Homo-oligomer: A and B are copies of this chain.
Amino acid sequence: MARAQTLSRNQQIVLDIIEKAKGPLKAYSILFNVQKKGINAPQQIYRALDKLIEMGKIHKIESKNAFVACRSSDCEISKATAFSICESCEMVDEISDTKLSKYLSGFNHKKGMKFKRFNLEFFGICKKCKKD
């Protein structure tokens, strides 16, 4: 059985950095940030990332190969994720919209495949960037 709550040392270090970040972080940028803490190899980062994703503490933004902290308390396990991504400043915002989530969770493919999980990424230009 997986340890439900406690994070290991490396997992905690990686999570802290992702949570403090203003935007999505890439694996190697996390690595460079934690070398002072004695983490030296990509493996260590990727292993922590994998576990954190499993636990629903972070999400991977697939289109950017980058990672963000989960902000929505209700996604213990990441099976329904949606993000808003600014193509100009790279800002990523997790969308937690009950209606959207229900709509997509209930969506069934004609070809009879039952879905376990989805990931949705919206792209546009955020308000801030539009002003410039």
Nearest B residue to A93 via CB reads B111
Flag whether A119 is at the interface (Cβ < 8 A).
yes
- Complex contact A121–B119 (CB within 8 A): yes
How many Å from the CB of A36 to the closest CB on chain B? 31
In the complex, the count of this chain's copies comes to 2
Given contacts A62-B62, A62-B63, A107-B100, contact A124 B113 (CB under 8 A): yes
Flag whether A75 is at the interface (Cβ < 8 A).
no
How far does the alpha carbon of A114 sit from the alpha carbon of B124 in the complex, in Å?
Answer: 6
Nearest B residue to A86 via CB reads B113
Given contacts A62-B62, A63-B62, contact A115 B123 (CB under 8 A): yes
Taking beta carbons and an 8 Å cutoff, which residues of A are in contact with B? 62-63, 84, 86-87, 93, 95, 97, 100, 103-104, 107, 109-127
